[in-house]
Structure 1
Amino acid sequence: MRKLRSQLWTRKEGQDPDGGLNAAGRASYNRENDANLKPPQPEGGPRRDSFCARSAGQMKMWPEAAEDPDSRLRKARRAWNC
Structure 2
Amino acid sequence: MLDLLADIQAQDGTCVVFVSHDLPVVHHVSDRVLVMRDGRVVEEGDVDDVFLLPRHPYTRRPLAAVPEALRSAP
Q: TM-score, normalised by structure 2?
A: 0.30
Larger strand percent: 2
Normalized per residue, the structure richer in helix is 1
Q: What is the TM-score of this pair, normalised by structure 1?
A: 0.28
Q: Computing the radius of gyration over CA atoms, which structure comes out larger, 1 or 2?
A: 1
